[in-house]
Amino acid sequence: MGLALASPEPAGAQASVPVEEFRLANGMRFLAVVRPEMTTVSAGWVAHVGSANERPGITGMSHFFEHMMFKGTPTVGTNDAERDQAIIEEQEAIQDEIRAIYRERRREARLGRIEDPFGEEDLPEELLELRRRFDGLVEEQRELMVKDEFDRIYTEAGATGMNAFTSPDQTVYFITVPQNRLELWFWMESERLLRPVFREFYAERDVVHEERRLRTESTPTGEFDEAFDALFWQSHPYSWPVIGWPSDLQVFTLEQAQEYYDTYYSPGNLTAALVGNFDLAEAKQLAERYFGRLEPGPEAPDVVTLEMEQNAEKRMTAHCDCQPQVAVRFHTVAFRHRDQYALDVLAGLLNGRTGRLYRTMVLGDEIASSASAFQDNRKWAGYLEVSAESRGDATPSDLEAAIGRELTRLAEEPIPDEEIQKVKNQVAAAAFERLDSGFFLLVQLLVYDSLGGWEYINDWAGETLAVTAEDVQRVAAQYLTESNRSVAHYYRQEGTAAEEIPTELEALPAPVRSQVMAQIRQIRESTDRAALEEALAQFSAMRSQAPPEMAGALEYVEQVIRERIAELEPEGGAGAPEEVGP
């Protein structure tokens, strides 16, 4: 236990965030930032586990736990804990039999006797009967469940914004509570870690399948983006998607999940954070009283498979219902590597409406509707990607050539001091803006801690401001090479027409915009008014916490949801029977 403050910053950097760090005897760490001017506390915790910690056969497990951790405990989420547990055991026994059948069907598929081991055609009667028995248990369990009780307890106490997310390197859980309900957070979060119940385990796999369909399979470039990741990462587990491969989602077991939980959700692999108006001494007492109940576990293993050095260019060509576009990606460095900061400045020189990509490709040559650079430094490795979407008759090859010219200029031509200073001015401004919101400060603390050090929040600006033009040219020459490059060309599929992009979404990066447009299509096709109302509440909460550049897009999605709900309003008013979709 003790105070952990960053070292003094170089001139021009932001003031350090006063973070106090303390650790419980079981190994769990806490980060605390007291802000007396707030009336709430943003609170959360991170499990230092993501898709990179998985292996073939259980891909998607980390994201799956993001779902399961909201299912409750023996006292939250059910009216009959004893029968609930018995149902879970009966379900597992049936799933053992189902897995045996699928094992045989995979063998049959390998021999060419059936087309798809998980296909719905020509299923054996034995499997269908097992499914019927399992579905009966699911319905019985749902009769015992108190739906969304975990969320309801928080909401009735005035809490907002409960959510979670999973990435390749972490799984983060967060919420904002009134300052006088902080003890509720300590109890609720420690309870779901101390006594989790993985109810609806197999039914929830179907929910994840649907999520995968919406996020990946229903977006124009989703499956191709997965293929590009698999092409780019040769040996590292970053090569598979966070949501997992479909075949793994069909077969991983409750026993495997329990083993995964015991390994990666032990207190020594967790960090909690509090930002807001609270008494620090009281928070330490509450942490000991509640999270101190967690038993120490084994040390979580590192990811030891390193990415092989790329020594030949890789290329991929895809045809989709999308605007022609290109992605050019280079292997770079892991989080807090000494070259990260120069690479960040390099990306800054390319980005924005005054950046080199926009000036030359959008305004100058008029071959792109958008162009951007993205620098992603993950826990174990990193990459820099430059992408552009075509305009007019420009082809992906035209875009790639223009990007190549800009990258060559960075490596070979002197960079004007004023251009470097412009990026540094943006960094200095962002250093203050990104810490203004207590919620976003919380998320940054948790994410950076899991990547390799929360102290980055205090030292990133100073390190970036110290970057010179020579540093930028050095990293450009070192990393942006042909043999270290992977390129994806996306062409419009024959017979598809360009989709009209709402003005509110034009500023979004192309991959994000594709995902949002896919969600909008799903909303407009939905006939489930209750699900739409729940989605509306979620988007409203997200908008209140979103960065400014996302706020307009989220507001537009809210508008689409409201319009769809209005269209589904039954004739005769609220008392009329609901119309059932086909």
In tens, the pLDDT along 246-264 reads 999 988 899 999 999 999 9
Cα separation of 323 and 482, whole Å?
25
Average pLDDT score over residue span 324-346: 97
Residue 299 has pLDDT above 80, yes or no: yes
Cβ atoms of residues 50 and 168 within 8 Å: yes
So what's the pLDDT on residue 541?
58
So what's the pLDDT on residue 540?
65
- pLDDT category at 16 given cuts 50, 70, 90 is confident
So what's the pLDDT on residue 537?
67
So what's the pLDDT on residue 284?
98
DSSP E strand boundaries for 253-340? 270-276, 314-320, 325-331
Residue 104 has pLDDT above 80, yes or no: yes
Average pLDDT score over residue span 159-171: 93
Cβ atoms of residues 320 and 220 within 8 Å: yes
Residues ≥6 apart with Cβ < 8 Å to 306? 235, 236, 380, 381
What are the start-end ranges of the H helices in 291-437? 340-350, 356-357, 396-412, 417-433
> What is the pTM assigned to this prediction?
0.84
Residue 91 has pLDDT above 70, yes or no: yes
- pLDDT category at 434 given cuts 50, 70, 90 is confident
Tokens 């910690």 correspond to: 53
Per-residue tokens: 481: 């090479």
DSSP E strand boundaries for 71-178? 160-166, 171-178
Cα separation of 237 and 4, whole Å?
33
Cβ atoms of residues 148 and 130 within 8 Å: no
How far, CA to CA in Å, does 425 sit from each of 12, 71, 81, 206, 346?
10, 46, 58, 48, 14
Average pLDDT score over residue span 1-14: 36
Q: Average model confidence (pLDDT) for the chain?
A: 88
> Residue 278 burial by CB count (10 A; 0-12/13-18/19+): exposed, middle or buried?
buried
Residue 177 has pLDDT above 90, yes or no: yes
Q: Which of 97-101, 187-191, 425-429, 507-511 has the lowest mean pLDDT?
A: 507-511
Q: Which of 64-78, 324-338, 512-526, 562-576 has the lowest mean pLDDT?
A: 562-576
So what's the pLDDT on residue 8?
32
Comparing CA positions, the residue from 67, 93, 98, 57 lying closest to residue 200 is: 67
Cα separation of 421 and 349, whole Å?
10
Q: Which of 8-17, 172-181, 367-376 has the lowest mean pLDDT?
A: 8-17
- pLDDT category at 498 given cuts 50, 70, 90 is low
Residue 421 has pLDDT above 90, yes or no: yes
How far, CA to CA in Å, does 452 sit from each of 48, 99, 308?
10, 38, 21
